Amino acid sequence: MSGVQMKPVEKIAFISGANRGIGKAIAIALLENGAKKVYAGARDVRSLHNLMSHYKDRLIPLELDVTHDNAIAQALNSARDTNILINNAGVLQAGGFFSKDTMDTFKTQLDVNVLGLMKLSNAFVDILKKNRPAAIINISSVAGLGNMPMIGTYSATKSTVHSITQGMRAELANEAVLVMGVYPGPIDTDMAKGVDIEKDSPENVAKNIVQALAEGKEDVFPDIMSKQVGKDYMQNPKGIERTFGQYVT
């Protein structure tokens, strides 16, 4: 526990990749739980149409590609009252370190999953400190706790997000900014389409994130599979490496 507990009531959140999947579910969960406003980042703001018509002026659309420095600067200028930053935008490209095109796919994923998250966090950190109590929520993955070879490069980006989350938490330890790492298992979104495995819902993930915010939790395992992985990881990280290492294809 961090000591910073943030019930969503009257809070103002900024979410990257808020137009679908887990990001959209988090936007809805925050607004349904009393958030004053959600800044919804999307590469194409037209994809926010349904959210905008439902939540009216509590849902502020912002055009945001996290790989574009200018878009980040503009989003920051429009959202200076933010006190919860949610780094959710992500991409997954299958393949390991010896796969065809691995340098290209690794770079694409690093640009979004790692550098995009860092750039957005760096842009917002001063206003988060000013608007504290505040929170940064980084969406990693269970694949960030042990490498899954079929998505090996993606796993490496999510492992980096895990490490970044630890580092940010230490740097902000005296600033009343909760830094939360979220480690979902397979969730039923476009990203996991075609993966034949039991999946939890984005709505359940979002519900558990909102609850974790209110409790000030730092490490969040928000779905059926990740709850088990979280327990196993604490006891036996080498066991997770061996288990995940079987997911080669």
Ligand X SMILES: NC(=O)c1ccc[n+]([C@@H]2O[C@H](COP(=O)([O-])OP(=O)(O)OC[C@H]3O[C@@H](n4cnc5c(N)ncnc54)[C@H](OP(=O)(O)O)[C@@H]3O)[C@@H](O)[C@H]2O)c1
Nearer to ligand X, 20 or 58 (CB): 20
Smallest gap from Cβ 39 to ligand X, in A, equals: 13
Smallest gap from Cβ 75 to ligand X, in A, equals: 10
Smallest gap from Cβ 117 to ligand X, in A, equals: 8
Nearer to ligand X, 2 or 221 (CB): 221
CB 114 within 8 A of CB 213: no
* Residue 87 backbone dihedrals phi, psi, to 5 degrees: -85, 90
Cis before 133? omega within 30: yes
* Distance between CA atoms of residues 80 and 54, nearest Å: 24
CB 170 within 8 A of CB 212: no
Q: Which residues bind ligand X (CB under 6 A)?
A: 16-17, 19-23, 43-44, 47, 64-67, 88-92, 112, 116, 139, 141, 184, 186-187, 189-192
Nearer to ligand X, 18 or 127 (CB): 18
* Distance between CA atoms of residues 145 and 125, nearest Å: 26
The CB-nearest residue to ligand X is 21
Smallest gap from Cβ 245 to ligand X, in A, equals: 18
Cα dihedral across residues 206, 57, 132, 40: positive or negative: positive
Nearer to ligand X, 76 or 133 (CB): 76
